[in-house]
Structures are given as structure tokens and as C-alpha cells.
Copies of this chain bind each other. A is one copy, B any other.
């Protein structure tokens, strides 16, 4: 194994000069830098990660805690993970993958052993048991999602409440007066996952303010459940003309079900969704949607973490709520004249 002293000897400089040439933490003459770089290349030198971590107390590794529970759309998690890894690499960091099941012990372990410098935690619950722990750790962390009491934490998320509002407003503007929200599976609400609740709040609030009739329906992630939801909606709200879907897994089967029940989308029923843009755009009837910006969330999370790791940096904002972006597609249209 080639080590820093080998490079130093080969380049005719001291080990610290090699180290500084690599880190840029002190000025090096152009001439020396070139010699060092040549030697590094020639010898194929790679600094030993463990030695580095020990000497600098920085591992340059981030922990990512990924959720794998039911009710969470897998591609979204994956896309987010990819974005985190990619962004971390741009900042010269690697990513250690932890599963939710590892739980609080896992977080404590990777932090206390100095395996990682910082942590990203996804799928935060309203009253997440990991919060006290994260506050207690001596390493910075960023949450994807908002707990009920985010004090002292750094949180990033889509503004789900605004997203719910945005969908309703869009439908209101098109003249719809009766709307329904088809939401996440019941267990997501039972766990009191923050984002699902916020969509409901935004949806209901906006509907109330606009004087619209509204209802909310959690829905399992299966085509059969979608079908049942569709039937129930039409039965309970015969005047229904606008639907907001916050459930990736049932978006397509739900539209199918509506059409099989004799309703044209968007002719009879306008549908909007909160979901990844690729999903909304790829359906048979491209769906008007508020984007779930996984990639941007990942970038933001890593960016914030990097700022927190910068000793000298100014404090980072506690809350980053990405404003909803609604893209109009083929699934929404003005309400047909009643009786027309």
C-alpha cells in the first residue's frame, strides 16, 4: 500500500505538504503542487479513509435512514436516496444506508462510533421517537418531513399543506364545487405521519374557504381498494366533479375505475394528484399534479447538512418548505354545465 510518506519522499517534500496539497488548507507553491500531484498519480496514492477519519475526526460519510414500511411509495424513496448519494458525492462525501428497523440504536451507533459525520432521516412522524435522540447526538442531522415540534431541528419537505390547497384552488378555479381527497393508506394516518395529515388540512381548509363540499378517504395501495374508493365516492357524493389523489399506488387504478363506472376524465371528473412528475406524466391520461420533488429534497438535505458541518458557517434555517408547483395536464377541465 502506498502511503503519504511514500508520496512525500517521491516528490521530495514533507508528508504535511502532501496533506496540504490534497486538502488545500494552506497555500502551496505552484511548483510544489505540481510535483506532489505528479507523484500521487505516478504512485497511485489513495489516502486511507480510516487514518483520515482518526486524525481529522471527519469520516466524510453521511448516514441515510430510509423507510421501508408499508404505505410508502418505493420509487420515491429510491429516487430520494439516489439524489442524496449523488449530491453527497459532489461534496466529497459517501452515504451509509440504514434501515428504519435499525431504529434509534442504529442512529446512536453510527454517530457515537464516528462512523458518520451527520445524518439524514426520512419519513419523520409527527411525534417521532427519534427526535430526542437526534437532538442529543453531537452530530448534525436533517429531517425529511416535519414533526409536530421541530424546534432545534433542521427540516426539509414539500409544503404538503400548500400542495393540498393548491390542488383545491385549481379545481375551484375550474368551477368545481364538490371535491374529494383520496389519500394514503390508513396506517399512514394512524402512524400520524406528518405529510399525510398536512395534505388533509390544506385540502379541507381550502375547500371550506371556497365554500366547496369536501370529503376525505384514506385508501389502501391496491387496485381493488381504488375501485372500492371510486364506487364509494360516487355513491356518497353524487355531485362530485373534482378529485385530489395523494397516493401514488392507486392513481392509475382509480382513474380506470372512474372510467369503468362511466365517468370520463376530465369530461365528468377532474383529477389532480400530489406525486412524482414522472408518474403523473406517464399515465394514459396525463394527470395535472403538484410535483413531489424527491431529487430536490435530497439535494437540499445534503446541502443543509454540509453547511451545518462547516464549522464557520452561519446557522441554517430550521424549516425549508418547498412551495408546490402545479403542472396542468390532461386530467382537469372546467366543470361541465350542470345538466349539460
Using a CB–CB cutoff of 8 Å, the interface residues on chain A facing chain B are: 44, 46-54, 59, 61, 64, 68, 74-75, 77-78, 81-82, 85-86, 89, 94-99, 101-102, 106, 109-110, 112-115, 222-224, 252, 282-284
Q: Which residues of B have CB within 8 Å of A106?
A: 89
Evaluate whether A99 and B78 lie within 8 angstroms (CB atoms) in the complex, with A48-B54, A224-B284, A252-B223 already known: no
Q: How far is the CA of A339 from the CA of B68 in the complex (A)?
A: 49
Q: Of B49, B68, B112, B113, which contacts A78 at CB under 8 A? A: B68
Q: Are B112 and A86 in contact (CB under 8 A)?
A: no
Q: How far is the CA of A111 from the CA of B94 in the complex (A)?
A: 13
Q: Which residues of B have CB within 8 Å of A101?
A: 86
- Tell me how many chains of this kind the complex includes: 2
Closest-CB distance, A222 to chain B (whole angstroms): 6
Q: List 10 A-B contacts (CB under 8 A).
A: A44-B112, A46-B112, A46-B113, A50-B50, A50-B51, A51-B54, A85-B97, A222-B282, A223-B252, A223-B283
Q: Are B96 and A97 in contact (CB under 8 A)?
A: yes
Q: Are B99 and A82 in contact (CB under 8 A)?
A: yes
Q: Are A94 and B110 in contact (CB under 8 A)?
A: yes
Q: How far is the CA of A47 from the CA of B115 in the complex (A)?
A: 10
Evaluate whether A49 and B114 lie within 8 angstroms (CB atoms) in the complex, with A78-B74, A252-B223 already known: yes
Q: Which residues of B have CB within 8 Å of A75?
A: 74-75
User: With A50-B59, A68-B78, A96-B97 given, can you name 6 additional A-B contacts, CB distance below 8 Å?
Assistant: A47-B113, A48-B54, A50-B50, A64-B97, A96-B96, A97-B97
Q: Which residues of B have CB within 8 Å of A114?
A: 48-50
